[in-house]
A and B are shown apart, each in its own frame.
Chain A
Amino acid sequence: MEAFTTHTGRAVPLRRSNVDTDQIIPAVWLKQVSRTGFEKGLFSAWREDPAFVLNDPVHEGASILVSGPDFGTGSSREHAVWALQQYGFRVVIAARFGDIFRNNSTKMGLLPVVLPAGVVEALQSAVEADPTLEITVDLGERQVRWAGEIAGFEIDDYTRWRLMEGLDDIGLTLRNADAVAVYENGRQPWLPTTV
């Protein structure tokens, strides 16, 4: 996983609520067995509309997505995270996220930032007024900063540490392989196996 410490970039304001993962990447794109090439599928249905915000050239190269509430609801497809990252996003800011999407993001190093709905809207308006606005997302300080404004956000210490170090979760768990073996010896004898 790519480490995330602090990131400065421009943003895209996505004024929609309930952006489900079927919109982020429609099912037809999920058939690939590789981990690359998903940027083409990002919002592919919505991108057919020339007026869709991602098609606006002023937002070209933006790396922060500022969305309405309940971003990433629905399907567990991690392809949604891959598509956002491969398109160039490092951060998604919203008032609320789907739980599985948020989990998937932190496994991959895409930072989901929860800010109050009013702050998200203010940020969207600021970007609409000036698309060149530079926004800094500072994970160490747990802050989003732009044009003299500062908004703090919460993230648990463990996830923050893992993101900042870019640590592989499986490697961390394998350090506790002994505890897993001990647990396994005490499992109830009637629990099913698939053999």
Chain B
Amino acid sequence: MGRTLAEKVWEQHVVRRADGEPDLLYIDLHLIHEVTSPQAFDGLRMAGRPVRRPELTIATEDHNVPTLLGPIKDPVSRTQVETLRKNCAEFGVRLHPMGDAGQGVVHIIGPQFGLTQPGMTIVCGDSHTSTHGAFGGIAFGIGTSEVEHVLATQTLPAYRPRTMAIEVSGELPAGVTAKDLILAIIAKIGTGGGQGYIVEYRGEAIRELSMEGRMTVCNMSIEAGARAGMIAPDETTFDYLKGRPHAPAGADWDAAVEYWKSLTTDEDAVFDTVVEIDATTLTPFVTWGTNPGQGAPLGSAVPAPQDTDDPAAAERALEYMGLTAGTPLRDVAVDTVFVGSCTNGRLEDLRAVAEVLRGRQVVTRTLIVPGSMLVKLQAEQEGLHEVFKAAGAEWREAGCSMCLGMNPDTLAPGERSASTSNRNFEGRQGKGGRTHLVSPQVAAATAVTGKLTAPADLV
């Protein structure tokens, strides 16, 4: 019987297999940031253990960093960042600190350097590590105990998850993005639908996506409960990687591409579960509740709790969100628009936002935050920042920013945002803040009207 892509990559990384035990899996790349690593380094120090392969490890500062120039004012945040610096120096790990040209959100910099490649195993103490699966590897988030385990051994014991195919047939209609697609998928299968699975996204609509779009889709796999999402590599993947600083070159490139081409699910392979989505029926999609599965087409209304799968949860969510069932989503007014994060903080996202904002004015507080310093540089080379500033939006330094309430960019209690990030949990963007997850295009149009809006609604 044939094998799925996930099975091929998994098998390639099994260091040891024994009856009644999880597989011991080799890890090709370990990404680190300041929040989930300090206690792991402490563990190594206490046990007198070195980092086994510092040259397969890379660190960045992202969650705590302010996106306005200047030092970190919060002493606790500053200590956390300084602790990362000390740990990286002591254990010999490459670090891209604030202000460095290579700094950025951990899931943006890996692909950007060409460190994220097909067929690899990649982990990070961050649940959105699933992003890297867009290149056809197995990438998943881990906790701090596992971070320590990988630092010490470059391996992880793990049971192979079951496999799920999400088949997206047809083409996405004009104006419908990768973000709308993944929000619709999560609404369909639920926040627990992917638990215990590695998801492979397949089908015409997936093949047509750029690498940026594929990363957006894989990024949010975890919001459907799946630790990992992946997409088979193809010419789009190879074109993206070619010439990047850490991509193979010369004869190595040819050998790598030949191997990468074998990384597809065999025709006769069987998935444990198959979910089918018709891309042609999709429209811009937004969330109304407090988990990413509580979403609906922008053209619809806030649902009545009794019409949802979990009425008690929906009722709580509407109360928290300050919404009334039956209100058209297009009538929901927001205070703040946030463009950024590892979901939608890449150059393609910023270009899409600029296209909408060109020659228009924003009426809300609008934060546009590049996912990395390189994205910032590229955007500025194209003059996108001028478009943003002319429209009245704020153009910031790279970081996680308003994706989570750990740095100065937060919502005030009761404040409502349209956000291109990935989580609308209670308090995610600041205590009492209310989040609607949207695509970059919807974020930009919403900034112009002050209500949830798609670009097509603008005259």
Contacts and interface: CB of A to CB of B under 8 A. Distances in A.
A45 B428 CA distance: 11
Given A33-B39, A174-B152, A169 B225 contact: no
Contacts of B159: 156
B423 A189 contact: no
A96 interface: yes
A51 interface: no
Contacts of B143: 76-78, 81, 100, 103-104, 107
Contacts of B79: 31, 33
B338 to A, nearest CB: 15
B155 A35 contact: no
Given A17-B312, A33-B80, A173-B157, A76 B423 contact: no
Contacts of B255: 188-190
B391 interface: no
Interface stretch (B53-61, B277-285, B355-363): B53-61
Contacts of B426: 22-23, 45
Interface stretch (B23-31, B177-185, B298-306): B23-31
Contacts of A81: 143
Nearest to A194: B58
A195 B58 CA distance: 9
Nearest to B82: A33
A27 interface: yes
B26 A180 contact: yes
B15 A33 contact: no
B21 A158 contact: yes
Interface string A57-90: 0000000000001100111111101000000000
Interface in A17-43: 17-18, 20, 22-23, 26-28, 30-35
Contacts of B312: 15, 17
A192 B291 contact: no
A166 B333 CA distance: 53
B137 to A, nearest CB: 11
A70 B76 CA distance: 31
Contacts of B256: 188, 190
A52 to B, nearest CB: 12
Given A45-B426, A74-B127, A180-B153, A96 B42 contact: no
B291 A32 contact: no
Nearest to B159: A156
Most buried by A among B20, B52, B54, B191: B191
A173 B400 CA distance: 34
A108 interface: yes
B248 interface: yes
Interface string A155-172: 011100000000001101
A2 interface: no
B431 A96 contact: no
B425 A31 contact: no
B64 A174 contact: no
A122 interface: no
A191 interface: yes
Interface in B65-80: 74, 76-77, 79-80
B313 A17 contact: yes
Instruction: Bin the interface of chain B by size.
Output: 35 or more
B259 A188 contact: yes
Interface string B242-262: 000011100011011001000
A173 B127 contact: no
A6 to B, nearest CB: 22
Contact of B47 (A103, A170, A193): A170
Contact of A107 (B42, B120, B146): B146
Contacts of A27: 63, 404-406, 428
Contacts of B55: 193-195
A121 to B, nearest CB: 12
A99 B161 CA distance: 10
Interface string B312-329: 110010000000000000
Contacts of A158: 20-22
B153 A170 contact: yes
Interface string B108-149: 000000110100100001110000000000001111111011
A74 B426 CA distance: 12
Contacts of B140: 100
B36 A78 contact: yes
Most buried by B among A45, A75, A184, A192: A192
A47 interface: no
Interface in B381-432: 404-406, 423, 425-428, 431
Nearest to B129: A76
B126 A45 contact: no
B28 A191 contact: yes
Contacts of A22: 404, 423, 425-428
A68 to B, nearest CB: 8
Nearest to A104: B143
A131 interface: no
Given A31-B74, A100-B141, A16 B316 contact: yes
B20 A157 contact: yes
10 contacts: A22-B425, A34-B39, A73-B191, A75-B126, A75-B423, A169-B145, A170-B149, A183-B15, A184-B26, A195-B55
Given A100-B142, A190-B253, 14 more contacts: A17-B312, A18-B310, A33-B83, A75-B127, A77-B35, A98-B225, A99-B225, A169-B157, A173-B157, A183-B15, A188-B255, A191-B28, A193-B246, A194-B57
Interface of A: 15-18, 20, 22-23, 26-28, 30-35, 45, 69-70, 73-79, 81, 96-100, 103-104, 107-108, 156-158, 169-170, 172-174, 176-177, 179-180, 183-184, 187-195
